[in-house]
Structure 1
Amino acid sequence: MGITGFISGKLRFRRRIVVISIALSFLVMIVSVSVSSGFRKEIRDALSSASGDVRLLPSDLDWLSGSSPVGATPSYLPYIDSIYGVSKVSPVVYRAGIVKNRDVVHGVLFKGVEDFGAADSVSLAVSIPSRLAAILSVAPGDVLQAYFVGEKVRVRKFNIVSLYDDIAEADDRLVVYGRLEDMQRVNGWDSTRVSAFEISLLEDFRSESGMELMTREIGAASLLYASEDDESVVAVSSADENPQLFDWLALIDFNVIFILALMTVVAGFNMVSGLLILLFENISTIGILKSLGMTDRAIVKVFLRSSSSLVLKGMLAGNVLALVFCAVQASTRFITLDPANYFISYVPVHLEIMKILAADAAAYLLIMLLLLLPSMFISRVDPARTVRMS
């Protein structure tokens, strides 16, 4: 151990409030980063599950009425499936409908999918959102009466097999899931016709820029490799269809950056005030060290090492508290939200170790840079006066 390390180890910093304030600052920073990542992951995963990250729709964009089907096995599909970044391509059948229970009527979007998962013994099985179940006062096991308007009104009685929690989107769209073949029959199609294709992307491509890139590539493939028998389609990204959600996520990211900067500055200035107290408490020690021939630079190292130890202790405590909070919130979801304002019903958390380490490192470096300001006080200490006063 060097002389600076030995002396810094002998200094006593009795201001616990400084360590506590640093710990609280790092707690807020790590929780903010984790909550921001949680919102981004939950909303993107929910959107990907609900409508894919990219959709191939009929070129006339009339995918709700059942009058513009596309082929279920177009020539370009294998080429799109092989594009790097594409995770899954799923055919779907859509149909706008009206559901009714007693005197309550509500418009919904029916969606037929391949991997519905309900037992084959249940005919016309559907899964409905919890919000719709509350509106209609229905539950699993009940019958859902639906009306489909076209050249003539078609009536179907579906069997509710499950409920699911959806994202409260701005357009308040409620999606009822059913089997692909059931919805094909509702539209009067055979197994060779579908409404669209939903394409899920790998996690690395779920940003707005990633979706934009993949949408262009998928759209180009659908044109380049289409045969004469294939219907014309257009590629549309989830970011384009849900701009309000992605704008909201961007606002959260901006708020997190502001919080990180604010908490770092707060922790830094708390540490600056603490270091000033430490310097004034040890002003006679500084004078003695100077009289013994120790340079200002070496003395600064002594106090910076002592301060660095406190910053690291506060950072460690804040990180531990943040990780405990995130673990409890992830397992219990005890902090809830209003889905109408926040799109989901609880505060999501997602730990991204690299982001946390980057936030820790950036905050630590900035705090240590701020500590250079009070360290300049050392050069103004007169050893003759301080030693005589002591």
Structure 2
Amino acid sequence: MNLELFIAQRIHFNKEEDRKVTPPAVRIAIIGIAFGLAVMILSVAIVIGFKKEVRNKVIGFGSHIQITNFDSNASYESTPIAVSDTLLNELRSFPGISHVEAFATKPGILKTENDFQGIVLKGIDSDYDWTFFRNNLKEGELFTIHPDKNSTDVIVSRYLANLLNLKVDDSFLTYFVQEDVRARKFHITGIYETGFLDYDKIFVIADIKQIRRLNGWDKDQVSGLELQINDYDKLDQIAEDLYFDMADKHDRNGNTFYTRSIKELNPMIFNWLDILDINVVVILVLMLAVAGFTMISGLLIIILERTNMIGILKALGQNNTSIRRIFLYVSFFLIGKGMLWGNIIGISLCLIQSYFHIITLDPSIYYLDAVPIDLSIFSLILLNIGTLCVAMLMMLGPSYLITKIEPARSIRFE
């Protein structure tokens, strides 16, 4: 039999009515652990969810990696590259690449009877992956691109639809300012809403052949290629490998290919997301400190109220290490109970927010309409193990108080 564990169980589970100080102190310690762990679970779930949602929206509009003309400027009026079947096959077989699609962009002015708005027409081809816009489609349907037929169908954002009083099946004119001002009439088949207003304000998705005709491009000319990868964690490495692989290649017109990851295309957004990790670290440290100090207070009170018992155990020959182990077991029971309640509270709040979106956000500031939640089993296990280890390590210090207790004096202690 483990004597220390047996005594610790008797101390923890025995209901003693004559002890007036221990129960409140124990409850405060348990509440401190529960509160700290619940806040940590919420913090990690919110930050991971926020980073993932914002990141996915940026990637939805621009994919993981883009290959464009090295001479292209920062505007949406791009210099084209000619894409051959050989290049496409090489990219599709490149390690880590899961999908390759062509795109073209052209700025214009969307005009209705009563209003107008600057937009960017993003042309896509029949190889386009519609997953992102399918998940964010609010009204109507997506359009189909036929290889041998020009389509005037487009999808617009809810922001533009509300701003210009447009709805599904409406038509509008878009004017393109170039050497000769040109106009095109488009038909709305669907309305999307991503909540990412920086892009929702401007992007209208159309057939890439419309932009080729406006610019006088050949069938193989595009603004660039968008590449999706299998594992986001390998984005930097894949982008770097692809950059050097494409650096010495040229299209049939002698243009150099320029490879950039979505992080390089949107450095401010991704730097801002990286800074959020610092906030999580600060919250975790503060919550661990709060939980740890409440547990230290609770353990000290338990030790002081058990001074008489400690003296008797020492008089019977129990050494300091064994007695310290008894109170560390007691601490483990208290921490475990607090962590149980912390998990219940934290996970429950995460599930409530995830399903009911009780806490909302302003999309114009946060790019999301509600606080996002993303809590993996791995993160939850890591938080629990970390909390338990840190809390138990903090208990080692106050347990040294036991070594200062003298049997002769403590047995008389009341």
TM-score (norm 2): 0.86
Verify the 8 A CA contact 1:75 1:227 in the aligned structure 2: no
The answer on whether the counterparts of 1:91 and 1:198 sit within 8 Å (CA) in structure 2 is yes
Deviation at 1:67, TM superposition (A): 6.4
Letter in 2 for 1:118: F
CA distance in 1, matches of 2:144, 2:232: 34
2:411 is paired with a residue whose SS is helix
Contact 2:249 2:256 in 1 (8 A): no
2:28 aligned with 1:17: yes
Distance 1:75 1:231 in 2: 16
SS of residue paired to 1:262: helix
In 1: Cα distance, 2:359 partner to 2:169 partner: 31
What's the counterpart of residue 289 of structure 2? 265
Q: 2:241 aligned with 1:217, yes or no? A: yes
What is the distance in 1 between the residues matched to 2:326 and 2:78?
A: 79
Contact 1:170 1:244 in 2 (8 A): no
* Matched AA of 1:10: R
> What are the residue-to-residue correspondences of 1:294-313 with 2, within 5 Å?
294-313=318-337
1:175 aligns to 2:203 (yes or no): yes
Residue equivalent to 1:284: 308
Q: Which residue of 2 aligns with 1:362?
A: 386
Give the secondary-structure state (helix, strand or coil) at the position aligned to 1:11: helix
Aligned to 2:374, which of 332, 350, 366?
350
Counterpart for residue 200 of structure 1? 228
Contact 2:307 2:413 in 1 (8 A): no
What CA deviation, in whole Å up to 9, does each residue of 1:195-233 have, x standing for no partner? 11011122343xxxx433322222222234546556322
Residue deviations 1:230-287, cap 9 Å, x none? 6322112211221121121112111001101111111000100111111122121111
Q: Map Cα deviations across residues 266-313 of structure 1 (whole Å, 9 max, x no partner).
A: 100010011111112212111111111111111111111111111112
Q: Deviations over 1:46-80 (max 9, x none)?
A: 12211011111112115856663222325433222
Structure 2, unmatched stretches of 5+, are 13-21, 131-141
> Percentage identity across aligned positions?
32
Partner of 1:32: 43
Cα shift at 1:120? 6.7
Q: How large is the Cα RMSD of the aligned pairs?
A: 2.4
2:72 paired residue among 49, 61, 78: 61
Q: Per-residue displacement from partner, 1:138-169 (whole Å, max 9, x unpaired)?
A: 22232232111111111122222222223536
- Partner deviation per Cα, 1:169-188 (whole Å, 9 max, x = no partner): 66886211122334433434
Aligned residues between the structures: 386
Aligned counterparts of 1:143 and 1:278: Cα–Cα separation in 2: 76
Q: Secondary structure at the match of 1:44?
A: helix
Aligned to 1:118: 143
Q: In 1, Cα distance between the equivalents of 2:100 and 2:331?
A: 56
Q: Does 1:52 align with 2:63?
A: yes
1:129-278 mapped onto 2 (5 Å cutoff) = 129-166=157-194, 168=196, 174-205=202-233, 210-226=234-250, 228=252, 231-278=255-302
